[in-house]
Amino acid sequence: MPLEIITVPCLSDNYAYLAHDAATEATAVIDVPEATPILNALRARGWRASHILITHHHDDHIAGVEALAAATGARVIGAAADAHRLPPLDDEVTEGDVIRIGMDEGHVLAVPGHTSGHIAFHFPASNVAFTADSLMSAGCGRLFEGTPGQMWESLSKLMALPADTLICSGHEYTASNIRFALSVDPDNPALLARAARVTAARALGAATVPVPLSEELATNPFLRAKDAADFARLRALKDRF
C-alpha cells in the first residue's frame, strides 16, 4: 500500500506534509513550519508522528520541529551537512541514505542551490518526492547559497524521477510562479491550461500542490530550460520579475 499523503497548510504560505503507512501506523512529517496545525492534522486522523524529515534549515521549515518532536517522540532526520544549523537530529543523512517509514523506503537526494544543504526525499514505491524549496510548483527556489549550475544539477536529478512522481513542494507560490512562466513561455498550451486550473483553485482557496512531475516537465519554465546557461538566464529573469 502506498503512503497516504496529506498536505498541511502552515504559516502564511508554507506546506508541511504527512506521509502515513496504514499497515504499520508509521507517519512521517515532512518539514515543520509550526507545530500546531500539524498536531491538529495528526489528531484529526488518530495518527502519531513517528518521523520528522527536514528538507533544509530555513526557519519557515524547521521552527516547529522541537515542539513537534517533544509532543510526539518522533525521530528527527535531516542533512548531516546542516546538522550545525538544524534542530537536534536523531539521524544525520546524506545522498543515497534510505529512510524506512513503515513498509516504505525514502531515498535521500542532495538538491543544493536554494541552500547548500537542501535535501529531498523520494519514496519510489509510493511515487512521491518531497522537494520543498528545490523543485517548486511551477518554479524553483531562489538561489540563496548555490550557483545556477548547482541548482540545474539538482533539478536535473529530480527531472529524472518517474514522470508520475507526485512532487510535494514547500509553498503556495504556484499562481505567482505561473505569472512568470507565462512571461517567458506564453504560447505553451499545457501552461495556459494549468494557469486556468490554478486560478480556479486559488479562487476557492484550494492548495495547488502536490503536482505530478509530468505536469512540471510540461509547464515549469526552469525544467524546460535547454541547459545550465539557459537555466541561469531564466533564474536571473525571475529574480527581477
Q: Which residues bind Zn ion (CB under 5 A)?
A: 58, 133
Site string for Fe ion, 59-88 (x = CB under 5 A): -x----------------------------
* CA 204 to centroid of chain Cα atoms: 23
Q: Which stretch binds Fe ion (CB under 5 A): 47-55, 98-106, 128-136, 211-219?
A: 128-136
Rounded to whole angstroms, the Cα distance separating 9 from 41 reads 10
Q: Which of residues 24-63 bind Fe ion (CB under 5 A)?
A: 60
Closest C-alpha among 92, 171, 164, 185 to residue 135: 171
Nearer to Zn ion, 50 or 169 (CB): 169
And the C-alpha cell for 147? 550557483
* 133 binds Fe ion per the rule CB under 5 A: yes
Q: Which residues pair with 76 in a beta bridge?
A: 52
Q: Which stretch binds Fe ion (CB under 5 A): 23-31, 40-48, 132-140, 177-185?
A: 132-140
Nearer to Fe ion, 60 or 216 (CB): 60
Rounded to whole angstroms, the Cα distance separating 18 from 11 reads 16
Contact (CB, 8 A) for 129 and 167? yes
Nearer to Zn ion, 133 or 172 (CB): 133
Q: How far is CA 115 from CA 23, 57, 104, 121, 169, in A?
A: 35, 8, 27, 16, 15
Site string for Fe ion, 103-122 (x = CB under 5 A): --------------------
Q: State residue 240 phi and psi, 5-degree precision.
A: -100, 0
Shortest CB 171 distance to Fe ion, Å: 6
Site string for Fe ion, 141-170 (x = CB under 5 A): -----------------------------x
Rounded to whole angstroms, the Cα distance separating 86 from 105 reads 23
Q: What does the DSSP 8-state code read for residue 32?
A: -
* 215 binds Fe ion per the rule CB under 5 A: no
Nearer to Zn ion, 48 or 85 (CB): 85
Question: Which residues of the shown chain bind Fe ion in the complex (CB under 5 A)?
Answer: 60, 133, 170
